Structure 1
Amino acid sequence: MDAIDRSILRELQADGRLSNQELAQRVGLTPSPCLRRVRQLEEDGVIQTYRAVVDPAAVGRGFEVFASVEVRRDPESVAAFESEVQATPDVVEAYRLYGAPGCLLRIAVADSDAYERFWRERLIAMPGVADVNSQMIMKRIKSPQGVPVD
C-alpha cells in the first residue's frame, strides 16, 4: 500500500459517496487507475464495506449508553453472550476487552425508560452476564471516522 492508496482511503472515509471522477481528482490520478486501485483495495479486504451514518435521534434512538458487562469466563457463556449481542439491534457496537470489564457495549434506545426496560428485560438476562455498569452519554465529542491510514 502506497501513499496514493492511503490518500484514497482517507478521502473515502471522509465521504464514501464520492464519484470516481471526484476521488481521482482529489488524489491526483486519472479516473481509470483510480478505479483500479479502489477495486483492488476492495478485493484485498482493505475496504470492507460502505454505509450510511444515521443520526440516532432522527430514528428514535437518541439516548445512548455505554454498558460495561462482565460475562462469566467460560467458553460456552462467552459464545452464548456474543451470539445474543449479535442478534440484538439495540446494541449498536460491542467489544470484548482484555481485563475488566470483559465487554463494552454501546446501546441506542429512545430514552431513559426504554433503556431501563432493555436493561431489565434483555441485558441482564443475556447468557453469562454476571454484572452490568451503565454510563449514559452526555455529549458526543468525536465520532468514529475509521482508523487512521497514516
Structure 2
Amino acid sequence: MTPQDNEELLDATDLKLLELLQSDASLSNLELARRVHVSPPTCLRRVRRLWEGGWIEKQVALINPQKAAAQLGHGLEAIVEVTLDRQGEEALAAFEARVVADDAVRQCYRVSPGPDFVLIVGVPDMPAYLALQQRLLTSDANVRNVKAFFSVKRGKFAPRVDLRRP
C-alpha cells in the first residue's frame, strides 16, 4: 500500500503530528500528545500507524555544516547536472542505481526537461570531487554531459514536505 492509498485515512490530527515530527522528531510522545490534544496512548497509536503506512520514512539528525566544517575541514558541496546519451528506462535505472550507492551522493533526482539527473554531492575537497567524477561520470560511456555547480553558501535548507491541502 502506498502513502497515496492511505490519503483518506489522514485527518487533521495526523497532519499536525507529521508537521510536528518534521520540525522536531525528538519530541516525546507525551509532548506530541499535548500539542495535538490527544491522549498519549492515542498519539502513540497514530504515530505507529504513520510509520507503518509509509508516511514517515526515517528519523535522522541534521548536522550543522558550519560546526562540522570547523572540526573536519571545509568540505565541498556540488550540484551536478548529468545528461545521458541513452535515456531508456534500463539505462536510466542503471545509472541511478550506480550513483545512489555512492556515499558522496546525498541526493539524486531524475529531472525533465534539461539534464536527466541532478545530483547533490558532498566531498571533503576538490581532489575527492575529481575522484567521484571519474568513478561515477567519466568512466560511464553513457554519460554525455556533466555540469557542476559548487556551493559557496547555503541560504536555506528545509527538508520538509508541505502538508497543507490545496
Match of 1:69 in 2: 82
The CA deviation at 1:129 is: 1.1
CA distance in 1, matches of 2:74, 2:49: 36
Identity level (%): 37
CA distance in 2, matches of 1:112, 1:55: 21
The CA deviation at 1:116 is: 2.5
Q: Considering only aligned residues, what root-mean-square deviation do their CA atoms show, in Å?
A: 1.9
Residues 15-37 of structure 1 deviation map (CA, whole Å, 9 limit, x = unaligned): 11111011111212221111111
User: How does 1:22-61 map onto structure 2 within 5 Å?
Assistant: 22-56=31-65, 58=68
User: How does 1:61-140 map onto structure 2 within 5 Å?
Assistant: 62-72=75-85, 73-126=87-140, 128-140=142-154
The CA deviation at 1:122 is: 3.3
Q: Assess, with a 3 A threshold, how the Cα gap between structure 1 residues 127 and 82 changes in structure 2: closer, same or farther.
A: farther
Q: Assess, with a 3 A threshold, how the Cα gap between structure 1 residues 29 and 71 changes in structure 2: closer, same or farther.
A: same
The CA deviation at 1:74 is: 2.8
| TM-score of the two chains, using structure 2 as the length reference | 0.81
Letter in 2 for 1:54: I
CA distance in 2, matches of 1:15, 1:61: 27
Residues 64-104 of structure 1 deviation map (CA, whole Å, 9 limit, x = unaligned): 00000001213332222112112111111000012211100
> Which gives a bigger RCO, structure 1 or 2 (Cα 8 Å, sep 6+)?
1
- Equivalenced residue count is 150
CA distance in 2, matches of 1:123, 1:53: 28
Q: 1:9 aligns with which of 15, 18, 22?
A: 18
Q: Structure 2: any 5+ residue segments left out of the alignment?
A: 1-9
Whether contact under 8 Å (1:80, 1:127) holds in the other structure is no
| TM-score of the two chains, using structure 1 as the length reference | 0.89
Q: Report runs of 4+ in structure 1 exceeding 3 Å deviation.
A: none
Q: Assess, with a 3 A threshold, how the Cα gap between structure 1 residues 148 and 126 changes in structure 2: closer, same or farther.
A: same
